[in-house]
Amino acid sequence: MISEVEERVHKALAAHPLERTEDGYRLAHAGGAGVSTLRFRPVKESVEGLGVVSIVEVIAEYAPTGLPSFHELGVQRLNAMAVHGAYALREGRLRQEAQFSLYALEPTVHLATKLVLDTFAAQLPLGRSVALSIVSASALEQQRAHHAMPGDWREPLKAEDLRAVALALQERGFAASNNDSAVWAEFAMSGDCPSRAIDPNAPTALLQVNAGVLHPIAGAGYLASISLPFAAAPADPADVCRRLNAAELALVDFVPRLGAWGLQGVDAQPGYHCFLPCAAPYGGLHMALMGWCLQRAAWVREHFWVAGQGIAPEAAQ
């Protein structure tokens, strides 16, 4: 069975000079920059009851020429700026992957199609520029100028749209609020206290969606983030990020894997970041991003989080 999203993607790409593969498309970029692959992977029969028809994989494999060399710690720092999927190393070479679960009865066909096409088109060009930009401030400015993406929105998202999301979250029992450009909520990782405003030591994750925020390379867009309530820094924070990213890509029935767990801030704590470039507000995307953050935080709580400890060591799971 082929989903409507897959049909629309094939129709949109039909006129483009792409190499057609058995299960999708391949593009070797000019100048030997790397290779982009879009693949539709049918789900196994044993999980068809989930309603998932296929997994879309969008992968950028970067040619090493001209790129700085990365070790695992550097890759997870890079993931804090990732656009269109998580970076990883495979046999010492940098790659990036995004995934989408496609459903027989897809509730948001137009949005899902747009995200798949946008990711395939921009993942490698933007991803390579992000990797190049870490070399120096001048390299960052050069890459930003190269893409020249819109830096702001002529008309910002209406504050009442963000307020509507905050109110909906409050009705579900979450501590949530908003301002003119963002909506945020707390999610209890353990216990039953919903907010640090009630108990400063409550282990709540902060979920936030910013609208019209500026990415260092990719212009204006939406930024969704999750900050976890670590009581103490993990012994190996880069490994926590690597494991969470790999675990997401092994899932079948899950929200879009468009962002990355990476090392955030000066203290290099593991956190989630998903930036979606948009030249203007896109109807309902802020609401979808917050919903994806809620599901992602619930997944971490169920499968990885240990009360009082944080992310459990791999050997303890």
Range scoring the smallest mean pLDDT among 133-137, 176-180, 256-260, 311-315: 311-315
The pair of three-digit structure tokens given for residue 61, joined into one six-digit string:
């494999």
**Per-residue pLDDT at 10:** 96
- The reply to whether 189 and 304 lie within a common domain is yes
**Per-residue pLDDT at 45:** 61
Residue 154 in any domain: the answer is no
Taking every pair of C-alpha atoms in the chain, what is the biggest distance, in angstroms?
Answer: 58
Question: Does position 21 have pLDDT exceeding 90, yes or no?
Answer: yes
Question: Does position 316 have pLDDT exceeding 60, yes or no?
Answer: no
| Residue 54, strand partner residues | 42, 102
pTM of the entire predicted model: 0.94
How many domains, in total, are found in the chain? Answer: 2
Q: Which of 120, 147, 174 lies at the terminal end of a domain, its last residue?
A: 147
Residue 211's domain spans which residues? 159-316
CA of residue 260 relative to chain centroid, distance: 5
- The reply to whether 49 and 185 lie within a common domain is no
Asked if 101 and 92 touch (Cβ cutoff 8 Å), the reply is no
**Per-residue pLDDT at 50:** 63
Note the pLDDT tens digit of each residue in 210-258.
999 999 999 999 999 999 999 888 999 999 999 999 999 999 999 999 9
Residue 153 in any domain: the answer is no
- The reply to whether 114 and 212 lie within a common domain is no
Question: Does position 159 have pLDDT exceeding 50, yes or no?
Answer: yes
Residue of 54, 56, 27 whose CA lies nearest to 43: 54
Residue 307 φ/ψ, nearest 5 degrees: -55, 130
- The reply to whether 23 and 76 lie within a common domain is yes
Question: Does position 166 have pLDDT exceeding 90, yes or no?
Answer: yes
**Per-residue pLDDT at 160:** 95
Average the pLDDT over 140-163 and give the result. Answer: 94
Question: Does position 315 have pLDDT exceeding 60, yes or no?
Answer: no
The model's confidence at residue 266, banded by pLDDT at 50, 70 and 90, is confident
- The reply to whether 134 and 194 lie within a common domain is no
Asked if 230 and 268 touch (Cβ cutoff 8 Å), the reply is no
Q: Which of 98, 113, 147 lies at the terminal end of a domain, its last residue?
A: 147
Q: Kindly report the CATH number assigned to the domain that includes residue 10.
A: 3.30.1460
- The reply to whether 37 and 164 lie within a common domain is no
Residue 200 in any domain: the answer is yes
From CA 306, how far away is CA 232, in angstroms rounded? Answer: 12
Element (H or E) spanning 7, and its range? helix 4-13
**Per-residue pLDDT at 56:** 97
Torsion of CA 4, 251, 277, 132, to 10 degrees: -130
Note the pLDDT tens digit of each residue in 69-126.
999 999 999 999 999 999 999 999 999 999 999 998 888 999 999 999 999 999 999 9
Element (H or E) spanning 171, and its range? helix 159-171
Residue 33 in any domain: the answer is yes
- The reply to whether 90 and 192 lie within a common domain is no
**Per-residue pLDDT at 70:** 93
From CA 88, how far away is CA 120, in angstroms rounded? Answer: 17
Residue in this structure with the two tokens 């039953």, named with its chain if needed: 192
**Per-residue pLDDT at 49:** 56
Q: Which of 123, 147, 171 lies at the terminal end of a domain, its last residue?
A: 147
Note the pLDDT tens digit of each residue in 188-223.
999 989 999 999 999 999 999 999 999 999 999 999
Residue 262 in any domain: the answer is yes
DSSP for 247-270, written as a single string: HHHT-SS-S-B-SEEEEETTTTEE
Average the pLDDT over 247-273 and give the result. Answer: 94
- The reply to whether 258 and 172 lie within a common domain is yes
Residue 120 in any domain: the answer is yes
- The reply to whether 138 and 167 lie within a common domain is no
Note the pLDDT tens digit of each residue in 28-77.
999 889 999 999 999 876 455 568 999 999 999 999 998 999 999 999 99
Residue 42 φ/ψ, nearest 5 degrees: -60, 145
**Per-residue pLDDT at 46:** 47
The helices-and-strands tally (H runs, E runs) of the chain is 7, 14
- The reply to whether 172 and 117 lie within a common domain is no
Residue 221 in any domain: the answer is yes
- The reply to whether 202 and 126 lie within a common domain is no
- The reply to whether 14 and 133 lie within a common domain is yes
Residue 152 in any domain: the answer is no
